[in-house]
């Protein structure tokens, strides 16, 4: 299988690259700057990738070449609004950046990979907890992050409808809390209701669970949202 992973240099992205490379898949690892851990995997690194720029579309196409792509995982994401005290002090520039990376970055990635996708290919959007889909989240805050993730969910639902006749399946997957630098930073503020980092799975373990949700995806289940426990929402 040939897979394109964005945000591949660390965290969940690196975990996905690690698991895919270990099982013998060809990985195109897109990132701004490759980490030593990513380089050590011997995957095909596409560096200097900035998903907020429209130029990334051509850059990714050049990095992939004419290779058929079986799996696209739009994993690149940021959360900078978690440390905002409230709507009065919300940094709108930061919110815009979160939209550019989390939502529009995923759109650009799909546009880049689409010519290389074929019948049986899959597109995965890394989502967040189902609470972002509901009307009564357990806590407020993280406006830009959560709004942009709601946007990526909507994009996924729409895209699934469009691409189903072409034999391409789409799914939104929430990996849950993962022990990454971001979770540790959020947890340190006390503004999070998730598990503590040390009680959360490491990126490789989370990637293994996520890949099981990817492998089970079919055209019949396209457009679905699922979390790491198997709970679905549509």
Q: Which residues are catalytic?
A: 145
**Residue 123 bridge partners (DSSP):** 72, 170
**Beta carbons within 10 angstroms of residue 64's beta carbon:** 21
Give the per-residue SS3 of 101-112: HHHHHHHHHHHH
**∠231-232-234 over CA atoms, to 5°?**
160
**Residue whose tokens read 């989390």:** 102
Give the separation between CA 113 and CA 116, rounded to whole angstroms: 6
**Beta carbons within 10 angstroms of residue 53's beta carbon:** 12
CB contact at 8 A, 153 and 172: yes
Strand duo 232-233 + 224-227: pairing = antiparallel
């Amino acid at each position: 299988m040939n897979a394109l992973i964005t945000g591949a240099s660390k965290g969940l992205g690196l975990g996905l690259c690690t698991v895919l490379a270990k099982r013998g898949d060809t990985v195109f690892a897109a990132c701004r700057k490759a980490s030593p851990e990513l380089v050590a995997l011997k995957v095909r690194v596409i560096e200097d990738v900035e998903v907020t720029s429209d130029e990334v579309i051509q850059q990714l196409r050049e990095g992939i070449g004419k290779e058929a792509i079986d799996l696209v995982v739009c994993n690149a994401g940021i959360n900078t609004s978690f440390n905002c005290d409230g709507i009065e002090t919300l940094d709108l520039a930061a919110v815009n950046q979160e939209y550019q990376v989390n939502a529009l970055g995923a759109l650009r990635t799909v546009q880049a990979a689409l010519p290389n996708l074929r019948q049986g290919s899959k597109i995965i959007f890394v989502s967040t907890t189902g609470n972002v889909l509901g009307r009564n989240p357990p806590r407020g805050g993280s406006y830009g992050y959560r709004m942009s993730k709601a946007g990526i969910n909507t994009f996924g639902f729409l895209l699934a409808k469009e691409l189903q006749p072409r034999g391409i399946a789409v799914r939104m997957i929430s990996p849950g809390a993962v022990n990454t630098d971001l979770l540790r930073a959020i947890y340190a503020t006390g503004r999070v209701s998730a598990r503590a980092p040390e009680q959360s799975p490491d990126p490789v373990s989370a990637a293994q669970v996520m890949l099981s949700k990817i492998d089970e995806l079919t055209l019949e289940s396209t457009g679905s949202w699922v979390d790491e426990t198997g709970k679905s929402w549509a």
